[in-house]
Structure 1
Amino acid sequence: MLFPDEEKAVDQLKDSVVSSVQESMAQVQMDSEELASVGKKNIEEEFFSASLAPAHSLWTSDARSSVRLRIEEGCPEEPVTVHQMFIASVEKYGNMHALSSKKNNKWEEITFLEYYQFCRRAAKSFIKLGLKRFHGVAILGFNSAEWFYSAVGAIMAGGIMTGIYATNSPEACQYVASDSKANIIVVENQKQLDKILQIRDRLPHLKAIVQYSGQLQQKISNLYSWKEFMQLGQEVSEKQLDEIISSQRANQCCILIYTSGTTGKPKGVMLSHDNITWTANHASRVGDMQPADTKQESLVSYLPLSHIAAQIYDLWTGIQWGELVYFAQPDALKGSLVYTLREVCPTSHMGVPRVWEKMMEKIKQEISQCGYVKKKLVTWAMSVSLEANRKCMQKDDEKPFLFSLAESFVLQKLRAELGLSRCQKFFSGAAPISSETVQFFLGLNIRLYEAYGMSESTGPHFMSGPKAYNLPSCGKVVPGCQYKMANVDSEGTGEICFWGRNIFMGFLNMEDKTREALDDDGWLHSGDLGRIDEEGFLYITGRIKELIITAGGENVPPVPIEEAVKKELPFISNAMLIGDKRKFLSMFLTLKCCSNTETMEPTEELSVEAVEFCRQLGSQATKVSDIIGGRAKEVHRAIQEGIDRVNSAATSNAQRIQKWTILRKDFSVSGGELGPTMKLRRPVVLEMYHEDIESLYQG
């Protein structure tokens, strides 16, 4: 049931949309069947059906159930489904370019109207293959236009879309596909297909597999090429699809995001249509993303779409605001990303912290290889930019004349080398970013706007932006969202709790885990510790589950200590504090190394930065094996001195690092120590290196 004000808002919105669609349809050449699919009658039905499905609770663990939305009094935004959001964008941006893919060395673009029609075709094919209401369509592969068509098409067809990380093992794929009752799995290529074929017999709900890239190498029943798949739905009428679309409600589940399982088996985060459409609308406003009818934004899609950060940023915000999305090459994170960036020069760019760190390491390496004069000039320009940006926290603050010189003669050229010459907005999300990385990019006059949130909050709940920037905070709460601090201590630190239209429906088939995450009043408990300053800026101080409690009962947040060590010792790649239930703290260290360009596995070879650091210490080490086991005494001495400096700032003796060891190889996703978004998987590391830990505490 809608309140009178809500009914009035719906009527006004409906009239506006119908009028707008009629005008735009007169300008767009479509055949009679296409016109019928998005004509006045269907648009009217779309907005008459904006009422919500009956619901009695704020949460559920059943994919077929509905939830009460957290709509506050006076909230102006009427809930809309994903299809309603898309059709509204087609009205406004129908003839503008939406997606661009590189094929045969040439960029090929499609419009929003074509994008919408491809999604409808995919939806009809899913229906033909027997997709059941609220059953899954799992997508396994690298970002592409076909990934987008499958995602939107699955939702239009009444299914629930879920991404599977391309790095997942066959067993991990089986868990997600089984848990989501996937009727169809869409795979990128033969490599991903092979994983599914290994587990096919263990997927009772699976009806078909679709491969969207490359030729099919074998004839298997219910396996389709992308071309075959897109032709399957020709027999399904537009009316049948429209009836399924019009039956959907904004408070029903349409997406599953699986957590990476860093602290147990993955949980399926159920997100409603309203979670997606509301967040796509609001979060991007903080980052100053512009609607296409004002200025079309462009971006490069390369981060895993299985993760909520990339999905909201690339896919759903792209539809909401009419952005032009370029798809990177599958080897983007192996080195080709910078070439794509240089070609397309996006206006906005997002990376997880590890991506920004890798970019920083690459720039440092190139600077180190410059001649004396050029190196001095770059170093001067970056120091001027860093100082100016530190003093001028708001982007429109007036900067000194020296900064203008540095910007014009040096920094603009450096950013152009990265493909960021037109980029105005830079975002970091999915994990905390180090202060060293933020400061380095300030030296390039690049402000990294940090977003903080969870899969369970549909991505960002707090964000930095041009009008909400204060280092080292991760910004202010997104307008329309709320927060509270639970169990606040004497220093003002407490657990951060979330409330708003972006809060998830619940964990699929996990009532107990849902009850753990949501309190009796419906607040989402993040598990993160932080404090809020007087201006409303949030500062993350640690994670409850990551807190190390020593044998003496001392609570030690590991992240600040780990970051301090990496800051003191720039050739350290990863630092992990150990000491839960132990008498003292120890630390694992890994060195910065080169990676195999094919497998992305860390090698024995030290990075250029690490080799240079060793040279400065008087060591000729070029490999990890040259340093571990007591070799390279100069390096060991430097590490101990760095740790001593960190220990001197410790708040108590219990927070001092007593022992440390260098591991034989760096952490990686393929090695299992890092999750898909490069987060440290502490429980996994503790188990993998159990013997090394015990040796630290012997005697």
Structure 2
Amino acid sequence: MTDLKPATSYTSTSLHEAVKLRLDEGGDFSQSIKPQTIPHFFAEVCDKYPELPALTWETPGAGVDGWTTLNYREYQENVEQAALMLLSVGLTERSSVGILAFNCPEWFFAELGTLRAGAVVAGIYPSNSAEAVHHVLVTSESSVCIVDDAQQMAKVRAIKDRLPLLQAVIQIHGPFEAFVDQEPGYYSWQKLQEKTYPSDLKEELLSRESRVCPNECAMLIFTSGTVGLPKAVMLSHDNIVFDTKAAAKMLKDVQIGKESFVSYLPLSHVAAQIFDIFLGLSHAGCVTFADKDALKGTLIKTFRKARPTKMFGVPRVFEKLQERLVAAEAKAKPYSRLLLAQARAAVSEHQNTIMAGKTPSIYGSAKYWVASRVIKPIRQMMGLDNCRVFLTGGAPTSDEMKEFFLGLDIALGECYGMSESAGAITLNVDINNLYSAGRAVDGLNLKVLDPDCNGQGEIVMRGRSNFMGYLGLPEKTEEAIKEDGWLRSGDLGYIDPKGNLVISGRLKELIITAGGENIPPVHIEELIKKELPCVSNALLIGDHRKYLTVLLALKTKSDPKTGVPLDALREETIEWLRPLDIHQTRLSDLLAIPADLQVTNDSAVQAAALEITAEPKLLEALEEGIKRANKNAISNAQRVQKFALIPHEFSLATGELGPTLKIRRNIVHAKYAQVIERLYK
């Protein structure tokens, strides 16, 4: 279906209104991409490549090796069955299906089935509280909610009385409480899937699908909500299909039918949607599902199984891989450590030479050849030896981390995107530098608004991937996207002479000191972390203050199951302390805080009442690191004057990180208000 629904505006804040498309913008590429619904896009791929593997996941007891694989024909059949299931339990047209689950095949089936049935997908982060789930289901006008397990079912059951539009709740995985499949409105996925549905329901599905238009809302992506309640970003079918095709065109050396992806980042986020579901489709690739503990340590196991050819990860994912490799290296024999360090240096030197546009010498090439043989087993151990594209985004990636992975022959290509732009805005895939987020994808106009004398200003963009609007919020929509079609990002940056976008900060995160100086905190935080490798988190303070201060959290281990920070220091922290003649291995001993202080969302409040004391040599070393970072400050106002140690790392479990692992600055400010005030006395 490519016919457009009549529309009078380029924006909409209702699930029942379509929008006009900017088909005449974005040059030849944009005009070559015809408007298309997601179900039509999906059917095209499945019909063309029916026997290619599409989805793989671990199923204990299945097959020879405990894994199940579906080809594209079977994928399509499961999507149709899911669509019929949803119709049978009361899914209404132009309402939403809320999906509260970790990544799994049923997520994909439910999403694509929802879209075939003329409804809208609304992903919900599994970490959300019951009240946060209520906000999503109310805002999205959900008539059906699909949940992962009994834990997520309990959240919805607790709020269902306040959801008059919600007709059905479907649970994917057991164990099941007694009310499931017994009480009206509660169902198990398996029993619905096993049913044979009548022909009139199949006719209803075809009728609904025929009414779906490319310029209607297909998906709601809820912003992280670091300030206030999350807003629902409305993305049309055309937004998603166009952005997918634009991003796919940027990726080089694509081998249709041979690409492998691993799905592990939350599908409630636009990056995972585009990378896992839609780029997977555009390449006729195979998506392997990681398990729920992927970000707690099992991701490498899935990589080894899938051997992905393309990988996207937020910086924290690569940081965790780095931590694991550093810890393993620390246990190696001195000779092995020396050999590996020399090999990494040779590989990094070779890659930097190529990025600078120079031809490596014969000697340099020979050194690289030998060094790459030393490095290769590490990539094999991680399951990344087949990976040709490594993309990172969602938050700033430190130079130190990029250099670390470059030494492993892994060039991290930073990319830039927003929920409001349906995903990718820029991609750094022809990697000739490590400082930028790359060039704009085809069909998207990108510029810097009101640049200062250094060319820096707010990044704005216009094109077919710009979102429809914020559901039910016309004023917020008008603030974000102007009548001329330019989408305000709220991010600061500049475009270098080669057309690469360089991100320098976020307008809303700017610290404005009492002296009126505008300061981007991320840059200063990264400078400090570079000088102090023992520091996991550095959070700059100084809004409306006379000077800057910083909160520092030292690197500690985390509970692999809960993600809660532990008292045990990480190997790199212990190594960093050793030259100071400090030999503690526990944070509570190092900072003289109670060892039984339970790390919870309230632990910071408890610890804030204490004045954390530490070994003078540690405090002196931290102060020296901050002084070194201050030497790179752009002005005196950007120099940090004081610091305070806090009792644990930031984490999802303790509330300082949001679902996409970004720091929730307002939460940190509130938790450590007493500590912050002491820094200004």
2:668 is aligned, of 685, 688, 695, to 685
1:137 is aligned, of 77, 97, 103, to 97
Cα offset for 1:320? Answer: 2.2
Give, in whole Å, the separation in 1 of the partners of 2:477 and 2:510: 22
Query: More displaced, 559-568 or 234-243?
Result: 234-243
What letter is aligned with 1:72?
Answer: D
- Structure-2 residue corresponding to 1:330: 292
What letter is aligned with 2:51?
Answer: N
Give RMSD over aligned pairs: 1.5
CA 1:502/1:396 → structure 2, altered by over 3 Å: closer, same or farther? farther
- Structure-2 residue corresponding to 1:170: 130
Give, in whole Å, the separation in 2 of the partners of 1:174 and 1:520: 33
What letter is aligned with 2:616?
Answer: K
- Structure-2 residue corresponding to 1:119: 79
User: Is the 1:160–1:254 Cα contact (8 Å) retained in structure 2?
Assistant: yes
User: Is the 1:94–1:113 Cα contact (8 Å) retained in structure 2?
Assistant: yes
Cα offset for 1:231? Answer: 4.2
Give, in whole Å, the separation in 1 of the partners of 2:255 and 2:307: 18
2:6 is aligned, of 30, 54, 59, to 54
Other structure's SS at 2:218 match: strand
CA 1:674/1:639 → structure 2, altered by over 3 Å: closer, same or farther? same
- Structure-2 residue corresponding to 1:66: 18
Cα offset for 1:72? Answer: 2.2
User: Is the 1:554–1:654 Cα contact (8 Å) retained in structure 2?
Assistant: yes
1:676 is aligned, of 640, 643, 659, to 659
CA 1:468/1:376 → structure 2, altered by over 3 Å: closer, same or farther? closer
User: Is the 1:291–1:322 Cα contact (8 Å) retained in structure 2?
Assistant: no
| Runs of 4+ that moved beyond 6 A | 394-397
- Structure-1 residue corresponding to 2:173: 213
CA 1:252/1:395 → structure 2, altered by over 3 Å: closer, same or farther? farther
Other structure's SS at 2:448 match: strand
- Structure-2 residue corresponding to 1:181: 141
User: Is the 2:411–2:431 Cα contact (8 Å) retained in structure 1?
Assistant: no
Other structure's SS at 2:499 match: coil
Which runs of structure 2 are paired with 1:197-596 in the superposition (5 Å)?
A: 197-219=157-179, 220-231=183-194, 234-235=197-198, 236-288=200-252, 290=254, 292=256, 295-393=257-355, 400-408=365-373, 410-465=374-429, 467-596=430-559
Cα offset for 1:540? Answer: 0.6
Other structure's SS at 1:576 match: strand
What letter is aligned with 1:318?
Answer: G
Give, in whole Å, the separation in 2 of the partners of 1:362 and 1:617: 24
Give, in whole Å, the separation in 2 of the partners of 1:693 and 1:233: 62
Give, in whole Å, the separation in 2 of the partners of 1:577 and 1:478: 33
- Structure-1 residue corresponding to 2:631: 648
User: Is the 1:125–1:233 Cα contact (8 Å) retained in structure 2?
Assistant: no
Q: Percent identity?
A: 41
Give, in whole Å, the separation in 2 of the partners of 1:113 and 1:378: 46
User: Is the 1:572–1:590 Cα contact (8 Å) retained in structure 2?
Assistant: yes
Cα offset for 1:346? Answer: 1.4
User: Is the 2:248–2:282 Cα contact (8 Å) retained in structure 1?
Assistant: no
What letter is aligned with 1:195?
Answer: K
2:627 corresponds to 1:663: no
Give, in whole Å, the separation in 1 of the partners of 2:10 and 2:458: 21
Cα offset for 1:387? Answer: 1.1
Cα offset for 1:263? Answer: 2.3
What letter is aligned with 2:436?
Answer: S
What letter is aligned with 1:258?
Answer: F
- Structure-2 residue corresponding to 1:32: none
Cα offset for 1:397? Answer: 6.4
Other structure's SS at 2:7 match: coil
Other structure's SS at 1:59 match: coil
- Structure-2 residue corresponding to 1:83: 39
Cα offset for 1:215? Answer: 3.3
Give, in whole Å, the separation in 2 of the partners of 1:194 and 1:397: 61
Cα offset for 1:621? Answer: 2.2
What letter is aligned with 1:406?
Answer: A
- Structure-1 residue corresponding to 2:601: none
Q: Deviations over 1:441-495 (max 9, x none)?
A: 0000001111101000111101110x25422101000011111111210111010
- Structure-1 residue corresponding to 2:582: 619
Cα offset for 1:388? Answer: 1.1
- Structure-2 residue corresponding to 1:98: 54
TM-score normalized with structure 2 length:
0.93
Cα offset for 1:662? Answer: 0.6
Give, in whole Å, the separation in 2 of the partners of 1:327 and 1:54: 39
Query: More displaced, 211-220 or 416-425?
Result: 211-220
User: Is the 1:630–1:636 Cα contact (8 Å) retained in structure 2?
Assistant: no
Other structure's SS at 1:551 match: coil
TM-score normalized with structure 1 length:
0.90
2:155 corresponds to 1:195: yes
Give, in whole Å, the separation in 1 of the partners of 2:632 and 2:288: 46
User: Is the 2:460–2:486 Cα contact (8 Å) retained in structure 1?
Assistant: yes
Cα offset for 1:611? Answer: 1.3
Q: Deviations over 1:13-48 (max 9, x none)?
A: xxxxxxxxxxxxxxxxxxxxxxxxxxxxxxxxx4xx
User: Is the 2:554–2:648 Cα contact (8 Å) retained in structure 1?
Assistant: yes
Give, in whole Å, the separation in 1 of the partners of 2:356 and 2:149: 46
Give, in whole Å, the separation in 2 of the partners of 1:390 and 1:255: 41
User: Is the 1:287–1:464 Cα contact (8 Å) retained in structure 2?
Assistant: no
What letter is aligned with 1:63?
Answer: L
Other structure's SS at 2:277 match: helix
Give, in whole Å, the separation in 1 of the partners of 2:357 and 2:557: 36
User: Is the 1:449–1:469 Cα contact (8 Å) retained in structure 2?
Assistant: no
User: Is the 2:221–2:269 Cα contact (8 Å) retained in structure 1?
Assistant: yes
Q: Deviations over 1:302-331 (max 9, x none)?
A: 110000001110011112221100111111
Cα offset for 1:221? Answer: 2.6
Cα offset for 1:395? Answer: 10
Cα offset for 1:233? Answer: 6.6
CA 1:215/1:144 → structure 2, altered by over 3 Å: closer, same or farther? same
Give, in whole Å, the separation in 2 of the partners of 1:507 and 1:232: 37
Other structure's SS at 1:325 match: strand
Q: Deviations over 1:591-619 (max 9, x none)?
A: 11110122101112211111121112210
Cα offset for 1:396? Answer: 11
Cα offset for 1:421? Answer: 1.4
Cα offset for 1:631? Answer: 2.0
Give, in whole Å, the separation in 2 of the partners of 1:240 and 1:662: 62
Cα offset for 1:338? Answer: 0.8
What letter is aligned with 1:633?
Answer: P
CA 1:395/1:623 → structure 2, altered by over 3 Å: closer, same or farther? farther
Give, in whole Å, the separation in 2 of the partners of 1:134 and 1:430: 30
Give, in whole Å, the separation in 2 of the partners of 1:463 and 1:382: 26
- Structure-2 residue corresponding to 1:8: none
2:622 corresponds to 1:639: yes
Other structure's SS at 2:647 match: coil
